[in-house]
Structure 1
Amino acid sequence: MLNEATYMGIGYHYIECGLPNVYLKNGYILETFDNEEYLSIDDMDALHVAIGSNLAKKSKPLTGAELRFLRETFNHSRRVLGEIMGVDQQTVGRWEKGESAIPKTVDLLMRQLFLESIDEDSSLRFLLDKLAENEAETVMGDLVVLEEQNHHWLRVASA
């Protein structure tokens, strides 16, 4: 059964993306077979980039669903995003479910991460990876493993 927005002439209410306020005016085909609706979208990747770009540039803070959409669009797990943000995956889950407020720094970083994911010339990802490496070194920072090489003691890169 066609949704109400289609009948009102707005277009297709694209709830499949996980966001409550996205409508498609065109670029899709909705067909019914055996009383089941089937949606086909022209260039879904480009559609998701357009949705993400709008989210990244909006003036209001991101909602949990919008944070999840951006994370999924650049194909990161909660664990990986947590590592980037310096939190555990449960914290990311709480943000996405609306159980915890999304810190402003996380909101801004998510927007920038998304924008960088569609612009391969950006160096933010390199910087974030280095920060994550530094965090891992900080955790391992108290552990000192030395190795003798040519009469010199050197710290082993990873224990």
Structure 2
Amino acid sequence: MAVAIHNIDGLHKAIGLFLVTSKKDLSKKEIQFLRNEMLMSQYTLGKLLGVSEQAVQRWETGKTGIPKPSEFLLRILYREQTNNQSGNISMLLKAVADLEDKINEKPLLFVDTKEGWQSVA
């Protein structure tokens, strides 16, 4: 006998909301499920959370656990997306990640002055 689920998206949303409101730590499969439901690559999620793509991969394979701050942000991101909110949190996290990229691209310059070494803006 075949089973048909008529609202698979609704079921996935219910599962995701259950996971992000649960008090237990997210498992590797749950992290992957939430990321996939948000239609994000490991790279994109990592960028939003301020970690590398490899870090997300390690969480999803169980090689390392997800740090509490990253797990908290993942839960918030999922809620934001499933509640059709304006995306303010995602936009803010992306802006911070982009700013960090720009800061990392700019070389640090210092000059030796009478008062000691000073950074050049």
Provide the rounded CA distance (Å) in 1 between the counterparts of 2:51 and 2:92: 17
Greater share of strand residues, 1 or 2?
A: 1
TM-score, with structure 1 as normaliser: 0.63
Residue identity over aligned pairs, in percent, reads 36
Alignment of 1:1-159 (within 5 A): 31=2, 39-122=3-86, 123-142=88-107
- The Cα shift of 1:137 comes to 1.0
- The Cα shift of 1:119 comes to 2.2
Q: Do the aligned partners of 2:19 and 2:30 also contact (CA within 8 Å) in 1?
A: yes
Identify unmatched segments of 5+ residues in structure 2. 109-121
Identify unmatched segments of 5+ residues in structure 1. 1-29, 32-38, 144-159
**Greater relative contact order: 1 or 2 (C-alpha under 8 angstroms, separation 6 or more)?**
2
- The Cα shift of 1:40 comes to 3.0
- The Cα shift of 1:98 comes to 1.0
**Is the radius of gyration larger for structure 1 or structure 2?**
1
RMSD in angstroms over aligned alpha carbons? 1.8
Greater share of helix residues, 1 or 2?
A: 2
The ranges of structure 1 where at least 4 consecutive aligned residues each deviate by more than 4 angstroms after the TM superposition are none
Aligned pair count reads 108
Encode CA deviations 1:16-56: one digit per residue, 9 max, x unaligned.
xxxxxxxxxxxxxx52xxxxxxx532111111110000000
